[in-house]
Structures are given as structure tokens and as C-alpha cells.
Chains A and B, each alone.
Chain A
Amino acid sequence: MLTIPTSHGLILAGIIFVLGLVCVLVRRNIIFILLGLEIMFNAVGLAFVVAGAKWGQADGQIMFLFILTTTAAEVSIGLALVFKMVHHFHTLDIDQADRMKG
């Protein structure tokens, strides 16, 4: 049985992170932007856990926990903003909301 190199785990995290970033950059639907953010958060969490597993320490998982907390807070605010935006602009297109004082 071969062990998995840590670098492979980190590469996976990197791929997922870049996919999330591409989602944020390319999509105009605000729901997809939030999903992209989720993907990126998740990728970062993965990187932490991989690193924690390399040393056999709990710290990686704890950082993942904190990221989870942050994500939860971020999503709740983000979705509330989506509500506001739909209420105000009647669209989910983020490029429509480009004025300072809507």
C-alpha cells in the first residue's frame, strides 16, 4: 500500500479553489457567486485538513472548524443581501447593481 503524497491533496485543494474562483469571476448570477465562494472556502478547509493529516495533529481540523463558522456567517449575510438585491433591482444579475446609491 502506498501513501498518498501530501502534495496531491494540496493540488486537489488548489484545483477546487481555482474552480471556485472561476465561478466567482465568470458567473453574473449572485447565487452562483455565493456558491463559488462556498467552493473556495471548502477548498481552503481541505488544504488545512490535508496539512493537519500530514503531521497527525488536530490543528488542521480546528482551522477547518473556524472556516466552517466563518462560512456560516458569510452565507447568512450573503443570502440576506440577495434578498435585498432582488427586492430592490428585481434581478439576480450582479452587474445591474453597479451604482453607489441604488
Chain B
Amino acid sequence: MEFVGYIPLLPFAGFLVLALGAQRLTRPLVGVVGVGSIGASALLSALTAAGLLKRLPGETAFTKTLWTWIDTGGLHLDMAFYIDSLTVVMMLVITFVGFFIHLYSTGYMAEDKDYARFFACMNLFVSAMLVLVMAENLPLLYLGWEGVGLCSYLLIGFWYTDKANGYAARKAFVVTRVGDTAMAVGLFLLYNHLGTLSIQPTMIKASSLWPHGSGTLTLATLLLLGGAVGKSAQLPLQTWLPDAMAGPTPVSALIHAATMVTAGVYLIARTHVLFMLSPLAMTVTAMIGAATLLIAGFSALCQHDIKRVLAYSTISQLGYMFLALGVGAWSAAVFHLVTHAFFKALLFLAAGAVIHALHGEQDMFRMGGLKNRLPLTFWTFLAGAASLAALPLVTAGFYSKDMIIWEAYASPLGGYGFWLAAMAGALVTSLYTSRMVILTFFGTVKTPVHHPPGLSMTLPLSVLAVLSLTAGFMETPHTLGGVHIFSGLLHYALPETKIVQSRITLEILFQILAATTAVGGIVWAFFLYKPQPEPAPSRLPKSIDRFLFSGWGFDGLYDRVFVRPYLALAHLDKNDIIDRFYLALSQASLGCNRIFSLTQNGRLRTYVWGMGIGAAVVIFMAVTL
């Protein structure tokens, strides 16, 4: 297990090679470096996982210290990686999904002139994400956290010549920065009280130092939650994610669906001990998740842009994960994270294939009828959509979402409220998913297909489609076989969820309800949006439609509450007396510059005059004084 250091290092090396040698590398070589470094990293991750499995159950985790990172005053931080089952799961998701998305990108980005820059940023992202999940201490995690934020910024604004893309990138950066600042303050607070920032000692010390529900701990935990909320685009910091779709589609798939946005979920799972000590933080987490999944789900229902539907869907599914975390369903949250990574990456990639084939068309109302034109894309998209809509029994999404819905009710922290929210969310999910499928692939052809996707794009689609359908079988409820491979593995890192005994009798009923809801949603959607030549944009009243389309008006609200007052304040500040003073100063020096530059007119004779007059003055002074 000596090689774990190379897992993030390989993509980083790939980044360096691509960033520094971009001009000299040929396109195939760029592809080989970009994809190969992730592939090698994925193989090493698999070896790490195998090594860890061999050591279980005797040794549930191991730490690999590379070097001392910071050693100053009382603060000692190592460049160290902590590997346990949760880390391994994250590593496998990041590297394998990342590998397939990189492979897909070689086809998707083939005609882009900044091919090497794209892969450089993607490799840097994977590297930073791996550092994030493997970090032994919180500052190292924060390093990866900011690293992925940076890459997200770079990749959202990848096509920087369009101003809107740069704006979207800035928005994503600034909004997540709000959460990141909260998280940094949380880290300071933890260090101030505990004197360490290594994750495991922090949790041990915290549980011995603070009683259950301590105020300081709750504050620190809520601040950490703030960071997670920003990164995972939860209420109230969710507004950046739909705009982040300005980036290339593989970026949306990798960063804004499969990996980076799940960092918040990972952070909470990683520091679960802190959260469990604070009932308030748990409740807040669950409530944020429940609210987000509903708000984002309804917004997804009214979008026209296929990528925005998927973006809102991502926010909504992340809401499920937060709900699961909040009710203490740790394994369910991580399980849904994994299946979501598969099917949402698949959906994005398939949507990307559609967009690619239609020459950049993203409006679903101008698609339609692609079922026969792009059969492989259709079937894989359908697999992902079924998984997202939690089609019972055959899809991974069903098992993971069902686990969340059940535990939202059955765990000690859960209840009817959360269960109802999750059920309503499931119904909305299957509605908007079916709407998306119908609008895109059924009906009449509105935009001709330019070129179908090549092998580098179809292969990742197929693999992810298989995973989206079958990944669920590693964890099934005991009513359906009771396979517990996944949670069994995770329980070495995360505590098991206790099911309240009195509620257990309802399990089958609830599962049938959940399954019926999912299927019902699909059927209802077929009645609402049934394939027709000219589908109506919406069946809702116009005002509600607009409200949902704009994502519940959060952008407008923030614009009014934060952006405009801030701009007004900045404008005021820009024109205050101090700035005027400096403005006057700068203008005075500019004026002087203008006067003096007159003397430097380049005319020799002027200079001679100057010298002559100067000499005359000096001689005059020498004679008279």
C-alpha cells in the first residue's frame, strides 16, 4: 500500500505535462496523457481497495504519511492520506467515473482548439478531488476542496470568449466561496478548542471534550455544514449550479454531477461524529436536504434546456443525500452518492452526445424524435433516466433512493415529515425525468442529426448504463434479498443506522408506495407530455411556470438582497472623500506627467536650449553668489 501517494500524484503529473507542454504535444498524445493518467490512478485505486479488503476486518483503516506539510507553533500537519472504506468508495467513484468521462471527452472535445488545456484542467481536478477524499487532516481536505473549486471555475469558464460563461464561472466561484469561508471559520473553531486538525483525532477529542448537543460544537458543525451546502449546491447556496452548465458537458458530468458537488456529502460523512453529537446540526442538515430536493425538483419540471434539467435534478438528488445524512442514514447517503454518480454522469454524457449530434442545440423543445436517429444514446439515456426516476427493481437508483426514503422515516431522527418530502420528491423526479425523455427522444424530429457519437463516446455510455442498472444489486433491502455488501463495507467507517423497531412493520408497505410513486410519476408524465408534434411548453399557469423556471426566484432575490445593495455600497464607497483624495492625487501626478512629458518631445534643439539655459543660470549664480 506504499503507492497510495501516487494516486493523486499521477493526475497531477498529467496536469503538469499538459499545462507546460500544451504547445508541443500532438492531439493523440494529449489524449493518452489525459486519459492514461486517470486510468493508471483508477488501477491503483482498485489495488488500494483490494489491499484494504484483504486487511479487513482486523484493520479498518491505514494512514500513509508522505511528508510534514506544516509544522509551526502548536500546529502540526502532515501531507498524509487516510484510507478507510469510505475513502476507497470515493476514490473508486472518482477515478473510474473520471476515467470514463475523460475517455468520452476525447471524442466530445475532439474539435476544440484548447484540447490540451481542457485535459490539463480535468486532470488537475481529479487530482484535487482525490486529495480531498484521501486527506488525513482537515486543512489538506480544504486544499483539495479549494483545488476542485478552482478547477470548477476554470472549466465552467472554459469557453471564456463568451462573456456569459465567464460570468457563470465567477458566480459559481463566489457563491461557493460563501460556504468555504464558513467552513474555514469552522476549522479555526475546531482547532482553537481541540488543538488538532487531523480528522480522526479531532473526532475522538470532540466526543470526549464536548457533551451531547454542546453549543460550541453545534456552531462548528453548522459552519462545516455551511461549507458542504455551498459545495453541494444546497439551499440557500444552490443558485450557482444551474449556471455552471455553461461549461463543456463532460465537465458538467464529472464536476457538477458525479464528484465535486458530492464533496459536501463526503465532508459530512467524514466528520459524522461531530454531526452526531449535535442534534440541531443533524436536523438542519435533514431539513435543508428535504427543502432542496423539493425546490430543485419542481424547478427541473419547468426547464427548457436539457442540461439545466439535469442540473436541477442534481441539486435535488444531492438534497436526498443531505436528507439521508441528516437522519443518520450514512450508508444510504453514500450509496445514493455512488449510484447517482453513475446515472447522473451517464445522463450528462448522453445529453452531451445529443447536444454534440445536434451541433450545440440544448433546448429540449427543439429536439424530439431522436429515438431512432441515435439509438444507442437513447437506450443508455433511458437506462440513466430509469435509474434517476427509481424504476423499481431493475435500476440502481431505486435501491439507493428507496433506502433513503425508508430510513428517512424509520431512523430515530426521521419521521413522517421527511418521508413525505422524500416521497413527493420521488414523484417529481419521475415526472421531470419522463418529461425530459419524451421531449428529447419522442415526437417529431425538429433538428437534424449532424454526426452520431463515435466509439470513444459510446463506450463510456454503455459501461455507465450497465452500472446504472446493476450497481444497486450490491445493496438491497432485506425484503428484496437483503444483500448488504455496500453497507457492510461502509460500516467499517460509518456507523450503522438503527431502525426504530416499532416502525419496521411498515417497511413493505412503504416500499410498495415508493415503487408505485415512481411508476405512477412516469405514467402520469406520459399523459401530461405524451408524444405530440408540438408539445406545449407547460401546463401550469404562466406565472407559476416562470417562477419555477427561474428556480423559485432565488437569483432575483439574491440580486435584490445582496448584489444590488453591495454594488450600491461599492459605488458609494468608490466616490467617498478618501477615494476622491486619491483620485485627485492620481490626476495631479497625471497632470505633472503631461507637463514633464512635454519636455521629452524628442527634439534635439529643445534639449540644447534646456542645457544652455541651465548652464547660463548656473554660471549666473556662480558669478553673482
Contact = CB atoms under 8 A, between A and B. Distances in A.
Contacts of B208: none
A25 B602 contact: no
Interface in A4-55: 21, 24-25, 28, 33
Contacts of A21: 612
A60 to B, nearest CB: 21
B612 A98 contact: no
Interface string A81-101: 000000000000011011110
Nearest to A18: B612
Contacts of B612: 21, 25
B605 interface: yes
Contacts of A100: 602
B605 A94 contact: yes
B608 A98 contact: no
A9 to B, nearest CB: 19
B313 to A, nearest CB: 60
Interface in A55-102: 94-95, 97-100
A87 to B, nearest CB: 18
Contacts of B605: 24-25, 28, 94-95
Interface string B552-586: 00000000000000000000000000000000000
Contacts of A25: 605, 608-609, 612
A24 B608 contact: yes
A99 B602 CA distance: 6
A94 B604 contact: yes
Interface in B49-79: none
A25 to B, nearest CB: 6
B603 interface: yes
Interface in B582-625: 601-605, 608-609, 612
A41 B141 CA distance: 77
A95 B609 CA distance: 14
Contacts of A24: 605, 608
A94 B603 contact: yes
Interface centre among B601, B602, B609 (most CB of A within 10 A): B602
B609 A98 contact: no
Contacts of B604: 33, 94-95, 97-98
A71 B601 CA distance: 28
Interface residues of B, number: 8
Contacts of B601: 98
B97 to A, nearest CB: 57
Contacts of B602: 97-100
A88 to B, nearest CB: 14
B269 to A, nearest CB: 64
B603 A95 contact: yes
Nearest to B603: A98
Nearest to B601: A98
Contacts of B608: 24-25
Interface string B422-462: 00000000000000000000000000000000000000000
A25 B496 CA distance: 97
Contacts of A28: 605
B565 to A, nearest CB: 49
A100 B609 CA distance: 19
A21 B619 CA distance: 15
Contacts of A94: 603-605
Contacts of B603: 94-95, 98
A33 B607 CA distance: 13
A99 B603 CA distance: 8
A5 to B, nearest CB: 19
Nearest to A24: B608
A97 B605 CA distance: 11
A99 B601 CA distance: 8
Nearest to B600: A100
A24 B602 CA distance: 16
A54 to B, nearest CB: 20
A99 B604 CA distance: 11
Interface string B181-216: 000000000000000000000000000000000000
A87 B472 CA distance: 84
A21 B610 CA distance: 12
A97 B253 CA distance: 62
Nearest to A36: B608
Nearest to B616: A21
A100 B601 CA distance: 9
B334 to A, nearest CB: 66
A94 B608 CA distance: 12
B609 to A, nearest CB: 6
Contacts of A97: 602, 604
A25 B607 CA distance: 9
Contacts of A95: 603-605
A94 to B, nearest CB: 5
Nearest to A27: B605
A78 to B, nearest CB: 12
B113 to A, nearest CB: 34
Nearest to A102: B602
Nearest to A28: B605
B597 to A, nearest CB: 12
A99 B605 CA distance: 14
A36 to B, nearest CB: 9
A95 B606 CA distance: 10
Contacts of A98: 601-604
A33 B604 CA distance: 10
A97 B606 CA distance: 13
Nearest to A100: B602
A88 B608 CA distance: 23
Contacts of A99: 602
Interface of A: 21, 24-25, 28, 33, 94-95, 97-100
23 contacts: A21-B612, A24-B605, A24-B608, A25-B605, A25-B608, A25-B609, A25-B612, A28-B605, A33-B604, A94-B603, A94-B604, A94-B605, A95-B603, A95-B604, A95-B605, A97-B602, A97-B604, A98-B601, A98-B602, A98-B603, A98-B604, A99-B602, A100-B602
Given A25-B605, A98-B602, A100-B602, 15 more contacts: A24-B605, A25-B608, A25-B609, A25-B612, A28-B605, A33-B604, A94-B603, A94-B605, A95-B604, A95-B605, A97-B602, A97-B604, A98-B601, A98-B604, A99-B602
6 closest A-B pairs by beta carbon, nearest first, are A98-B602, A98-B603, A94-B604, A24-B608, A95-B603, A99-B602
